[in-house]
């Protein structure tokens, strides 16, 4: 298929592009490079053995999106482009609504105008807020507990409304849990700018000696070791799920909302220990107060993804840490 991937030079989008290209699809990336680098295109090509087309552009530019959809004869869209930092979304709510909701609206308008009816959308487990129980399945109540989460909730609802109005429109809403790891080649991975917000890239930078210690946010949660529990999912497993969701839309001609996680929860201390094993170094850590807005535990019931897509995670926490460490080491050497 001829596919448009918005945000395709970002962390998850770059892995998805590599997977899609390897399956024989034609891929056009549109990214404004707000949180990624143009040289990722070459690295996707090196991993996949085929080049994606790259267009520097902004999804909020409806005319530009329409020109891409028509000009490239696009048949389906994978929409990753978004801002994603929860804390920043409190500081800049307008930027988040503009980019994430406004960007999705402009893209959806252009898709309607170009009669492109297939969409795979990056949603997040953040839509569950503080889940009443874990594992959390797709029927759990959704709560937007911060501006970023609300942008995902709103976009999910906009997509559902379009699907109920336009008979031909098919969308897969994919709720990622905690993406982690990197491509095993060491060529693709996460490039946090400044201080990483997320645990795994922070731990990797401490292991590399770039930061002095991991701050463990809270040791008094009602979890086995008192630290926060999450469902870390290898980005390569996540990428594969996008290709499989796209195939589902084409095959079944039905919409889809699924959790993408492993179904297993790991605490902050579990992650640090697994990373120590992967890198062979001791990782200094310090217990500090809870980070505001964090929940005690969140992990997926991922059974629907298996039932509908035949997808399940294959790579565990050890591989996530090994691959994140390889990426961290190569990145330090490259930069």
φ and ψ at residue 266, rounded to 5 degrees: -125, 140
Distance of closest approach, residue 325 Cβ to ligand UFG, in angstroms:
16
Q: What does the DSSP assignment read for 158-188? A: HHHHHHHH-TT-EEEEEEE-EEE---TTSSS
Please tell me whether residue 177 binds ligand UFG under the rule CB under 6 A: yes
- Residue 189: helix, strand or coil by DSSP? coil
In this chain, which stretch among 52-60, 210-218, 242-250, 311-319 interacts with ligand NAD, using CB under 6 A? 52-60
The residue among 102, 105, 142 whose CA lies nearest residue 126 is 142
148 among known catalytic residues: yes
Q: Which of 208, 283, 294, 316 binds ligand UFG (CB under 6 A)?
A: 294
Query: How many helices (H) does the chain have, and how many strands (E)?
Result: 12, 14
Q: Which single residue is written with the structure tokens 């897969």?
A: 172
Please tell me whether residue 54 binds ligand UFG under the rule CB under 6 A: no
* β partners of residue 3: 27, 76
* Per-residue x/- track, 216-235, ligand UFG (CB under 6 A): xx----------x-x-----
Please tell me whether residue 196 binds ligand NAD under the rule CB under 6 A: no
CA distance 92 to 14: 26
* Packed helices 103-113 and 62-71: angle between N→C axes, nearest 10 degrees: 40
Q: Which residue is nearest to ligand UFG (CB)?
A: 228
Please tell me whether residue 214 binds ligand NAD under the rule CB under 6 A: no
Distance of closest approach, residue 215 Cβ to ligand UFG, in angstroms:
5
Please tell me whether residue 96 binds ligand NAD under the rule CB under 6 A: no
User: Strand 256-260 to strand 170-176: parallel, antiparallel, or no bridges (unpaired)?
Assistant: parallel
User: Strand 266-267 to strand 229-230: parallel, antiparallel, or no bridges (unpaired)?
Assistant: antiparallel
- Residue 166: helix, strand or coil by DSSP? coil
Residues 136, 125 contacting (CB under 8 angstroms) = yes
Please tell me whether residue 80 binds ligand UFG under the rule CB under 6 A: no
φ and ψ at residue 45, rounded to 5 degrees: -60, -40
In this chain, which stretch among 17-25, 29-37, 122-130, 239-247 interacts with ligand UFG, using CB under 6 A? 122-130
Distance of closest approach, residue 288 Cβ to ligand NAD, in angstroms:
21
Catalytic residue among 96, 97, 148, 221: 148
Distance of closest approach, residue 276 Cβ to ligand NAD, in angstroms:
22
Please tell me whether residue 237 binds ligand NAD under the rule CB under 6 A: no
Which pair of structure tokens corresponds to residue 39?
Answer: 């040289």
Q: Which residues, 113 to 142, sit near ligand NAD by CB under 6 A? A: 122, 124
Q: Which of 9, 126, 173, 257 binds ligand UFG (CB under 6 A)?
A: 126
CA distance 223 to 214: 19
**Which residues sit at the interface with ligand UFG, rule CB under 6 A?**
84, 86, 124-126, 176-178, 197-199, 202, 214-217, 228, 230, 268, 291, 294
**Which residues sit at the interface with ligand NAD, rule CB under 6 A?**
6-7, 9-13, 30-36, 58-60, 80-82, 84, 99, 103, 122, 124, 176, 179, 198
């Amino acid at each position: 298929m001829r596919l448009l991937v918005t945000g395709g030079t970002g962390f998850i989008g770059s892995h998805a592009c590599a997977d899609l290209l390897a399956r024989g699809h034609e891929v056009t990336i549109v990214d404004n490079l707000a949180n990624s680098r143009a040289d990722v295109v070459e690295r996707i090509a090196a991993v996949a053995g085929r080049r994606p087309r790259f267009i520097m552009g902004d999804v909020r530019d409806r005319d530009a999106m329409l020109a891409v959809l028509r000009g490239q004869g696009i048949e389906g869209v994978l929409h990753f482009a978004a801002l994603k930092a929860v804390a920043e979304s409190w500081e800049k709510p307008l930027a988040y609504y503009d980019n994430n909701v406004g960007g999705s609206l402009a893209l959806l308008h252009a898709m309607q105008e170009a009669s492109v009816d297939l969409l795979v959308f990056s949603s997040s487990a953040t839509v569950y807020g503080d889940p009443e129980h874990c594992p959390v399945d797709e029927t759990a109540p959704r709560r937007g507990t911060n501006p970023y989460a609300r942008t995902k909730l709103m976009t999910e609802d906009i997509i559902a409304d379009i699907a109920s109005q336009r008979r031909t429109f098919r969308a897969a809403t994919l709720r990622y849990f905690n993406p982690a790891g990197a491509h095993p080649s060491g060529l693709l991975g996460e490039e946090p700018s400044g201080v990483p917000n997320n645990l795994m890239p922070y731990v990797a930078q401490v292991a590399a000696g770039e930061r002095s210690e991991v701050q463990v946010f809270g040791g008094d949660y009602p979890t086995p070791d008192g630290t926060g529990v999450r469902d870390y999912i290898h980005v390569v497993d996540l990428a594969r799920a996008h290709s499989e969701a796209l195939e589902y839309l084409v095959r079944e001609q039905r919409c889809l909302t699924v959790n993408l996680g492993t179904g297993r929860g790991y605490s902050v201390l579990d992650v640090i220990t697994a990373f120590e094993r992967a890198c062979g170094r001791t990782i200094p850590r310090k217990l500090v107060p809870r980070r505001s807005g964090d929940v005690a535990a969140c992990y997926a019931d991922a059974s629907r993804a298996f039932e509908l897509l035949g997808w399940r995670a294959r790579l565990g926490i050890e591989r996530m840490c090994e691959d994140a460490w390889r990426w961290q080491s190569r990145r330090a050497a490259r930069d």
